[in-house]
Each structure stands twice: as structure tokens, then as C-alpha cells.
Structure 1
Amino acid sequence: MQQLRTSQITIIGGGLTGLTLAFYLKRAGKKVTIIERNHEPGGVIRTFTEQGFTYEAGPNTGVLSSPELVQLFDDLGDTCNLEVANPNAKRRLILKDGSWEALPHNLSSAITTPLFSLYDKIRILGEPFRKKGSNPYETLDKLVARRLGKSFLDYAVDPFISGIYAGNPANLVTKFALPKLYNLEQNYGSFIRGAIKKRQEPKSELEQRATKDVFSVKNGLQQLTQALTAAIGHENFILNAKRTSVTLQNGKCQTTVSTEENDILVESEELITTIGAYELANTLTFLTPEDLSPITNMRYAKVAQVALGYKEWNGYPLNGFGGLIPSKENRKVLGILFPSSIFPNRAPEKGALLSVFLGGIQHEDIYNLPDQELIDTALNEVSETLKTNLKPDMIHLFRYPYAIAQYERSSEQRLDQIALLEQQYKGLYLAGNIRNGIGMADRVKQGVTIANMLIK
């Protein structure tokens, strides 16, 4: 027999976006129901502890880059303790010709680094005086090569994009993928001039605390989603949703949820989806494939992560955030993160915890390898690049076929269609990583923005 539940607002998807949204709606006195397909909320954020290692399956870190994220930690109080990375995390390594080189962090290191050509080092002095671009759909590779030079693209931006998007700079449109960078050129005419002007602008106290530092949470990022879940209240969740479909009747959103135990009908005035583009067609059944195709054709990078734990480490000194690997180096991994170097208590005292990332848009063939081949590939790359023959004491493989949304040329059509559907169907909001950014700070900011809109 179908159970009936009434709610003011239904949220489909219990990841960070949905949890942030529900947290602030609940604080404002709204009755919310969150529908999540997994057995617990949190989306891809999961933390495990084993043999003295604390490792993440999903995002390993976030960036403290928005006032909304700062405020969220304030509002959660002692239930979730922010952990800012140690100063070593500012040291980012880039592989060039088989050797690790630190990304420049000041003028002297920028002059002496072997990462960039002498021509581009000299040429960058003219960056503030170059004409700004006129193509709103310029891809990131063309923008960077035009303003900074080819070596900056190859050994700074390309590995950065591999680390953030697991994507290809030739496909990502700057306006959508890195809007802050795009706006620096458009609003100030220059990256350098814009960065200086932005630093001089007055900031609120919360904006000043959005330091752009790398962060995690004490005992792992899952503590954040668990704190949000507890504050929202377990009674407001429907978990293990095997099938969720939405129809509209008499101006109400009718959401049918099938779980292992029963079927539930949730009736609400407003509905927000925070799920991936690939799940929308089977969920919003009142919309046609033609309605959704500009959204559902969104591309996602496939990424595998191999967590490696060493109780004793004798390889390359892990005194930094990690190492990113440019496409030009023709290696088989995107990068190797050093979590035990960034945060305390992630590995035994003399040990090390590594997160190796493989696949992405440019290396989907590697992602598709069988499990053992994928693990062996990660181990070989660690051995060759970090100069160790140690056998890890802990190995875990995680695969994400829809890891990271790609903000490509189709983004404008997708955003236009989202706006059209939200205007056509009052009370429907399409959120999640299909728009507004892919980082943790982006997800929190979007949740807060929609919550404030619904509360008002």
C-alpha cells in the first residue's frame, strides 16, 4: 500500500547541495523531504578509517572560497570542525621531463622555474596591456595561450584542469568552466590587473574569511554531511530510493518513491532536483526527452581513484599538496594527492597516504581497464614518479562513471533550457552540478542561494 507524505518542499538528491539547501530551509521552519538513492545521505562524500589511515572516497579536499561555506561551518558549530590545510599544501608540484617542479608562488620563483619558457616569462610582462578577447565561447586553451603563452598552458593550466575537471582545456569554455578568470579579462582587461583590483576591493568579514585555503573536516569530510543530516533530522529523509518519478497534478508536485520496503507518494508545492543530468529523464517523467535533451546531453568525466596507504614511507619527500601531471608528459595518471602531508592524522606517524587519480576526458581508455590492471597502473606510476618500490599496506579502488560535469560549449543551451523549464513549471528548480560550478564551495553557495529564494 502506498504511503502518503505531505511536504512544503521536496529535494531529490541528498548530496552536499541538497543537504545545504535542506539545512537552511529547516532552520527557517520549512517542512522538507529529502529523497536519496543511497542508504545514507552525502552523495559521493564518504570517509573511511582503516589500519590508522583516514581516506576519502570522492572529493579529498575543498577550497574555502565562498562566504556561504564559511557561514555554513559557523552555523554547524561544534558538530563539524573545519580543518584548514597546513602551509605545505600551498606547494603544488608539476611533473616535467620526469622531475617534480614546484609551481611558482612569487616573482623570484616565477623567473627561475623551468616550467615555463624564457619567451613566455618575458612575454607575461605585457599581459596587462593585451587586448581582451571578444569571443564569449573561447575555450580555455585558446584564452591562456593568447594571454600567457603556450608553456603556461602546458605546465600550469592543463594540469590544473586535469586536477579540477579531469577535462580537456580545448573543450572547456572559460565563461562557464572558470567564470572568475573569464570576468577578470572582461571586466578589467587583464588577469594581472584584475587580480590587483580585486584584492583592493573592500570585503565583508565573511569574505575576508573565505581565504581560498584548502580545507577538510576533522576526521574526514563525511563529518560535514553527517552533521548536516543530524541537523535536518533523519525523519525528513527517504533513503534507499530505488526509483523516483515526478508528475504534476493540480499545481502540486507528486513524487513517487519506491524503496525496498514500500512505495511512498510525496506531495509538495515545490521541488528541487540536485541529481546529475543523466538521472533527470527517468525522474522528471512529466517532461519529454526533447524538453530535457539540452540538459541530459551534458558530458561527465569518468574518474577512478586508488587510495594507497604505507605504514612507512621512504620515497620522494611528500612535502606538498600533491603532484599534477600535464598531458604533454604522457603518463597514465592525472595526478597524485598527498593527503597525509596536508592534514594531520591521515596516516601512521612515519607513513603516507596517497590518492591516485586516473581516467578523465583524455584518458577514458585507462578508466575502462579491469580493476587489477587499473591498480597496477597506479602502483607503477607511483613507483616511477615518487621513486619508491614499497608495497602499500592498504589499497582501495573507487570508480566514478559520472565523476565531474564538463562545462563545454553546450552549456549555454543547457542553462537557457533550465531557465525556460523553471519559468514554465512554477515550483520546479533544477540544481546540482548541471550549473553554478562543481566545487564544494560552489555546491554550498548554490544551496544557500536557492534556500534564501524559497524562504523569501
Structure 2
Amino acid sequence: METRTLIIGAGLTGLSTAARLRAAGLPVCLLEGSAHVGGQIRTFRKDGFVFETGPNTGTIASPEVAELFELLGLQPEIASPAAANRLIWKGRSLHPLPRNLQEAIGTPLFSFRDKIRILGEPFRARGTEPDETVGAMTRRRLGCSFADYAVDPFLGGIYAGDPDRLVTRFALPKLYQLEQQYGSFIRGAISKARAPRSERDRKASRQVFSIEGGLGRLIDALTDYIGRENILTESSVQHIRQSDTHTYSLTYADASGEEHTLSCRHVVSTAAAHLVPSLIESLVTEDLSSLAQLQYAPMIEVAIGFRHVDASHLPAFGALIPSRENRRILGILFPSDCFRGRAPEGGTLYTIFMGGVRHAYLWDCTDEEIRTIALEELYDMLRIPASSVPDLLHISRHRHAIPQYYADTEQRLDTIRRLEHKHAGLHLGGNMSGGIGMAHRITQGAEIAKRIIVDVAGSASSVR
């Protein structure tokens, strides 16, 4: 009986799935179209600086994240206490984002009217519109200034998206459930904090993490655990066919263009949504437009390092810019405030995020134009002297960086469910569903692997 699983895409979802399957003793093969393993996760080292060109951090938001580190024998580097500070730009200066009710009442970020409104949030009626956007929900429950100066920059930092288009139950499902289950964000958060947690659930510490030396070390550890011989890079999947009800055949072209065909019991796609229809069009007859039409925010990431710099800001995770402040960047991360070894001794590393849905037009700018904008914004916001010259400046671009969970998400999820139900052994993963963060990708990989392990065990029992 064929027990091998073929996984399309060697990003974090694919690698996490493969690691779980290998831990269960099942054979796997990953096919990656590029020459690089790890998807958008990539760490570079230059002149004493260590910087990321994709995701910068993750959160231990589920037990599966902690369990993956245990499986790999890898120790996460937990962010310093400075990471608890998040800054918001308003009126030509940076202000700490409130972390509790007392700070929310004292902050200049919110209007007096909305501070009173926040106090009344536990008594407000729950919403009835299932596709209510995050912007609409927060204005309804907390007021306009809270939506403008907390939620808008927060979503700009996570999704690089528009709060008035992102649907709460898909983009922030935990927030949506707080209102649905408890009738209030505040009341729900208090109840959740008081609820007993199992020993396994306590593994989800919610701490912000990286890896000493960069997130690329996580990819290296996953690659070593899975076995480099089980990962085929520069391998372009041509088509997938179902040989019978229990077996798939997958044809791919290697770097030289030569085609090869592999058979498997399970095939897992972790490809971006717009690539999936071409992968499975020979396998299915269903309308796949809901997958093809998923919108992605483009992102430009600029790493800027100084061996010595005179800057003015509170040690923090970073700073976010609300839409209404009309700046040309989405935010700035301060990696050297949060993790050791990101800059030479006495130096500072910044990561600037640009583009997104808000400034999609920046994608067409040249690297020189991006460099100019990034430096002008950084120097102005952090009061860096104009005479300062960076010792590092690296620009990276991601055309399809972050999926946008709009009102069409339900249709896409329905399509995925129908396809997986009709074609046993087909698994459609990746960030087109299930969340965009590293924790979401690791958790989804564990869930897919669990389904495969259960199926293989059941098939083996029936054969006996």
C-alpha cells in the first residue's frame, strides 16, 4: 500500500506538515518550485547585522508551536521585555499603545468620548452581521478613535490591510468569538483569563519569539529533521491526477525541464491560492474562481542598520502608523531592541514595512525611490540627524505577501471543504485559510498531518 505523502510547497506549512509525518514514521516528499526552502522566511547576515526579509517574529500562540520546537530540539529566543511596548504615531510623535484599561483612559490616542465609550463596552449589544468588518465592529463597540488609532495600525502591521474590508470572523476570529460567546470584548477577555487551562494548553504562552541567529535557523532545523533528500527544490508541479480512489499521480519538472511522475496516497498543497487552480485543474471539475481571486497585499521590507546612531524612541517592539496620519510607511520594527545579536555591539537595526493595501502603488517604485522614502520617514519619525549614513540598507519585495480575508472568504472555505470531501487524500493548506501568522501555519501543518496519520493507520488496520 502506498503511504507516501507528497507536499507541494516547502514553506512553513509544508515543512511543519512533513516534520509531523516524519515523526510518525511516514515517508514524505516535498516539491518546491524555487531554489529556496522556507517560503517567505529568510535570514541574512551582513557586516555584523542579522536581519529578516520576510516574517520577523512569531508568537507561541498554540501548543503546536511549542511542540514543534520540542520535536526539533530547538530553543526559541523569547523577545526582551521591550517587546511588550508597541508605539503608535499620532500628531508628530510616538505614543505607547495602551496595554490595560487604566492606560487606555490616560492615553492621548483616544478621544474623551471614546474613553467613556470603552467603559460601557461590556454593556453593549452583540452584533448580528456575520460579515461585519473589523473597522465597523470596533467603531460600534469602542468608538472611532479606538478604531483609527489602535485597530487600524494593528491591522496595518499584521495584514497590511484595510480594516473596513477585512471581515472580523475570518481575520480576527478570536475577537469575533469573544463578542459572540460573551457579548463583550472586555467581559470575554476577563472570562478567558480566569478559565482553567490544561497542561497542554499552557504551552501556548503567547510569547513573541525568534531564534538566536534568525528565523532561518528554524527552517534549517526543519530541513534537517525531514531530511534534505526528501525536499526537491526547483521542481515545478505540472499536474495532479487521481489514478483510482486511493492513489494520486503527480507530475513535476525538475530544474532541467525533465518530467517525473510520483504516486502517493495523500497530496498536500500549501501553494498560494492563485496557483492552486492550475495545480488541480486536471483533477477537479469544480469552479475554482474563489481560490484564484483571493487578493494579496504586496509588501516591501527595508532593513536599515547603524553601527552608531542618535535616535529618539522608547525601547519597543516597533511603531505603527494609522492610515489617517498619511505617512508613506506602515510601520517600523526595532529588532535590536527585542533580540540579541541583531546589530554589532552598540548598533541598531530597524525594519521598515511599506506598501500593503494602503500604499499598493509603491510596488512600482524603483529601489532608489524606496530607499529615499524609507530613510526620510525613519529619520523624521525617530529624529535621526540628516547627516547619519546607514551602514546597512537592504530592500526585499513580496508581490503576494499577505492574503486579505474579505467577505468572499466563506465561499473560498466552502470550495476547499468540498474539494477535500470529494477527493479523499487531497489536502488544501497554506495561508489562503486558517490564518497568516507563523503559529497559524505551524498549527495547520500539525492538523493536516494528524488527518493523514489517522487515515494511514485506519487503512493499515483494514488491510490486516
Give the shorter-chain TM-score range: over 0.9
Counterpart residue number, 1:84 = 78
The amino acid of 1:366's aligned partner reads L
Q: What is the CA–CA distance in structure 1 between the aligned matches of 2:46 and 2:394, rounded to whole Å?
A: 11
Are 2:160 and 1:162 aligned? no
Structure 1 counterpart of 2:186: 192
1:216 aligns with 2:239: no
The AA in structure 1 aligned to 2:348 is A
Structure 1 gap segments, 5+ residues each? 1-5
Q: Report Cα offsets for 1:274-325 as digits up to 9, x if no partner.
A: 0100111222231568621111110000010011111112111351001000
- Which range moved further: 234-243 or 374-383? 234-243
Is the counterpart of residue 234 in structure 1 residue 232 in structure 2?
no
Q: Distance in 1 between matches of 2:452 and 2:203?
A: 27
Aligned-pair distance for 1:207? 2.1
Contact 2:237 2:250 in 1 (8 A): no
The amino acid that maps onto 2:421 is Q
Deviation at 1:234, TM superposition (A): 1.2
Query: What is residue 462 of structure 2 aligned with on the other side?
Result: none
Say which SS state the counterpart of residue 359 (structure 2) adopts: helix
Q: Aligned equivalents of 1:305 and 1:117: distance in 2?
A: 33
Contact residue 31 and residue 237 of structure 2 kept, 8 A: no
SS in 2 for 1:162: helix
Q: Structure 1 counterpart of 2:253, which letter?
A: S
> Which residue in the other structure is 1:435 paired with?
433
Q: Partners of 1:374 and 1:288 in 2: how far apart?
A: 43
Indicate how the Cα distance of structure 1 residues 255 and 37 shifts in structure 2: closer, same or farther if over 3 A, else same: same
**Selected match of 2:342 from 346, 351, 360:** 346
Structure 2: distance between partners of 1:29 and 1:290: 34
C-alpha distance in structure 1 between counterparts of 2:163 and 2:61, whole Å: 22
Deviation digits for residues 238-278 of structure 1 (CA, Å, limit 9, x no counterpart): 11114442122233211111112432211111111001001
Q: Report which stretch shifted further, 396-405 or 38-47.
A: 38-47
Which residue of 58, 63, 75 corresponds with 1:67? 63
- For 1:177 and 1:342, locate their aligned partners in 2 and report how far apart those are by CA, in whole Å: 26
> CA offsets, 1:90-131, max 9 Å, x none?
000000011000011234322211000011111111111110
* Shift, 1:361, TM fit: 0.7
Q: How does 1:418-433 map to 2 (within 5 A)?
A: 418-433=416-431
Query: How far is 1:352 from its partner?
Result: 0.7
Of the three residues 394, 397, 402, the one matched with 2:395 is 397
Q: Is the 2:31–2:236 Cα contact (8 Å) retained in structure 1? A: no
Tell me the distance in 2 between the aligned counterparts of 1:46 and 1:385.
27
Please say if 1:310 is aligned against 2:306: yes
Checking the alignment, whether the CA contact within 8 Å between 2:312 and 2:382 is kept in structure 1 is: yes
**Poorly superposed stretches of 4+, deviation over 6 Å:** none
Instruction: Assess if the C-alpha contact under 8 Å between 2:277 and 2:291 holds in 1.
Output: no
- TM-score, length basis structure 2: 0.94
Give the gaps of 5 or more residues in structure 2.
455-464
Shift of 1:375: 1.4
State the distance in 1 between where 2:260 and 2:19 align: 22
Q: Deviations over 1:26-69 (max 9, x none)?
A: 11111111111122321111001111100001001111111110
Q: SS where residue 379 of structure 2 aligns?
A: helix
Aligned-residue offset at 1:377: 0.7
In the alignment, the residues of structure 1 paired with residue 400 and residue 174 of structure 2 have an alpha-carbon distance, to the nearest angstrom, of 25
Q: Of 242, 248, 251, which residue of structure 2 is paired with 1:256?
A: 251
Instruction: Show the 5 A alignment for 1:78-227.
Output: 80-227=74-221
Share of identical aligned residues, percent? Answer: 46
Q: Match for residue 450 of structure 1?
A: 448
Structure 1 residues 390-424: Cα deviation after superposition (integer angstroms, max 9, x where no partner)? 21111111110100011100000000011111111
How far apart are the structure 1 equivalents of 2:364 and 2:312?
29
Determine the C-alpha separation between the residues in 2 that align with 1:397 and 1:290. Answer: 40
One-letter identity of the residue aligned with 1:317? H
Which residue identity is paired with 1:349? E
